[in-house]
Each structure stands twice: as C-alpha cells, then as structure tokens.
Structure 1
Amino acid sequence: MRFFESAIVLGLSLVASFATSQVIMNQASTAAEGYQRGVAGVIQAQGERNLSNSQAAINMTDARSAHIDNQVKSVNAFWETRGIYEQHKQEEQYQMTQRRSAYLARNGLQSLTPQEFDRSTGAIAWPKILEQPAYDEYRKKLDELFKDRASNGALTGSQYMEATTATKEWRAAITAQKDQYPGPILSDMLRFILKVNRELDDNLS
C-alpha cells in the first residue's frame, strides 16, 4: 500500500514538472528578441503608412492631371465652336450678298450717281418724298452710317448689318403704304433705297 501511494505521488510530480516546463517553453523569450519584434512592428507600420501616403499622392496627381486635361479640352472646344460659328456667319453673309447682287442685277439697278451720293462725305441726296418725317428713323440711321464710312474708310460688320436692316425695314414700311402712293412713285421710292443698298454692297469691307 505504501508503495502504491508513493507511485501516485511520483506520477503527480512528473505531471506538474511537465506542465511547468511547457509554460516556460511557450513563454521563453529574451529581451533582445522582444526589442527586435517591437522594432519590426514599428517598421512594418511605418512602411504601410508610407505606401498609403504614396498611393494617395499618386491619386491626387492623377486627379489634378485629369482636371487640367478637362480644362484644356473645354477651352479648345470653346474656340473651335466659336471658329465654326464665325465661319458660318461669314459664309451666310457672303451668300446673302451674292443673292442681293443677283437680285439687283436682274432688276437692272445702277449705283447711286455722284449727284445722288457724295462718296467723299457720305452725304445722300434723298428724294423729297423720302425726306418725310415718317421716314426719319431709317434715313437718319443711314446718313449717320454712310458718314462714318466716309470718315473711317469702311463700315464694321455690325454697322453693315445695321445699315442693311434699316434699308430692309424702310422698304417694308413703304410697301405697307402702297395704297397711299401711285405705282410709279412707289416704285421710284423703293428703287432709290435699293440703290442705297447696292452702294453698301459695292463697298462692303
């Protein structure tokens, strides 16, 4: 019986000794190893941070580059659109001038004579019937523009459009009053304004 008890005590001692050695084995670490592991962790964290910052910088650079590209494309599109518009307006004005010239040629209209128009001063000798106050709006505008052309040598594009608009509206106003004038007089009024219009086209700048 004493032998059996001694065996049990010995067995328990061996188990306790084995467990203690296991704990010691699992926790075994020197101060140098702990320091190295800590340094390695710091270095790894710093590296991940640098990588993250680098990627963010790359993304920011790409975004800035894309923004600049979009601005350049927008500016180019603006000037290309403006160039197309101006070219279209020039072609439209040229075609309008060609149609007007063809119309004047078909109707056998001549340019204003020196007695009707002084090219050095831009003064127009209007027929008396066209000097009525009802036509002041058109006549005064044309007088002003023709004097500007005589002084400056040419009308600007906007001035030319103002002048042609004035002659067009004046003809429309006279045509609307056709019942107030005999046919030949009405025809002379319109033809004189057409001759003024031809003078504009002949000296179109």
Structure 2
Amino acid sequence: MAALVLPLLASSCYAQYWGGPWGGGYHASTAAEGYQRGLADVVRSQGQYNLDTSRANVNQQEANAAYIENRNRAQEVWFDMRRRNDAFRAEQAGPRVTSEQIFRINAQRAPKRLNDDQIDPVTGELHWPLLLTSMIYTPYREVIDAGFENRHQKGSFSDFDAHQTVVKAVDSMYDELKKRIRDYEPQQYIDANRFMEALSHDVRFPSS
C-alpha cells in the first residue's frame, strides 16, 4: 500500500505548482488535501480491483457449473440413446430362444439316416435314385451294396477295415456326383444329392 501511496502523494504535491518554469503560482489545495486525494485514489483503485476480481471469480464459477451441467446432460442423452437402441434391437430380435428350442432346431438340422423309402428295412437293400444307377457309379455301388447287406445280416460291419472300405466308397461316390452337377437336370441332382447325404450319414454307424 505504501508503494502505491507515495507516488500518488508526490504527484499530488507537484500538482500544487501550476506555473512551471515560466512563472506562476501554486494550486490552492494544501498538502493534506493532496494526501487525502491520493489516498482516495488508492482505495478506489483497490476497491475496483477487488470488484473486478470478484466478478471474474463469479463468471468462472458460472462457467464451471455450466460445463458440468452440459457434460452431465450429454451423458444422460448418451445413456438414453443406448437404452433406446438396446430396446429396439430386443424388439426386432423377438423373444429369446430357449435351450429346448435350440435342441429341437439342431435336431431338425442334423443329417438324417436312410429312411424306409431309401433302404429296405427287412433286407437292407438300397433303393438307389435313377441317376445313381448310371454306369459311372457302378464300382462304388457294388462296394456299398455288399457292405450294407453284410451290416444288415450281421447287425454290424464285420471289422474296422470293412467299415472304412464302405465309408471311402460312399465319400468317393458323393464327390463324383458333386463334380458332375452341371451334367444333370436340377431335380435329378436334388434327388441324388438328398440320397447321398443320408447315405453318407448312415454309413458312419457301424450297426444297422
């Protein structure tokens, strides 16, 4: 405070002399009046500084409060949008599938063994679709027919090697059919493919 007062006092005292080097006289105010005026200026400046500082603090606090409010609002909007999105997806997906339903679906999708229209349940004779009676497939059919007849008579394949021989014959015949897909009428190929799919699954069972 003293550092601010002294220059102002000196300025006030100097202000009493109004003539300067060209002559003249002194101001009518006294040194006491100059001191009081300088002190008032200091007090007024200090008060203005305090007021400006207070306003700046208030503005900063208001800005901080607005920032926090905006951030909280943005978070609320984000979580609300997420809840809406989750609800929409759940609605679109429909009810959740139970474990029992999953089991039934998988069972329906699983390959089926040969049915009674494809294999004689009494003799074990295979009922080949017309397309698969082509001479191209004769070598495979002979091995497969003998293997299935043997499995039906004995209840199972005689040994591992015999079983694998029939499995390889079925796989090779199926591959041959797939390679010739463009050579056949669509419905003929569909019937043959359906039969081979069931045969390929059925042959994996050692017993009938």
User: How does the TM-score come out when normalised to structure 1?
Assistant: 0.44
Q: Which has the higher helix share?
A: 1
Q: Which has the larger radius of gyration?
A: 2
Greater RCO (CA < 8 Å, at least 6 residues apart)? 1
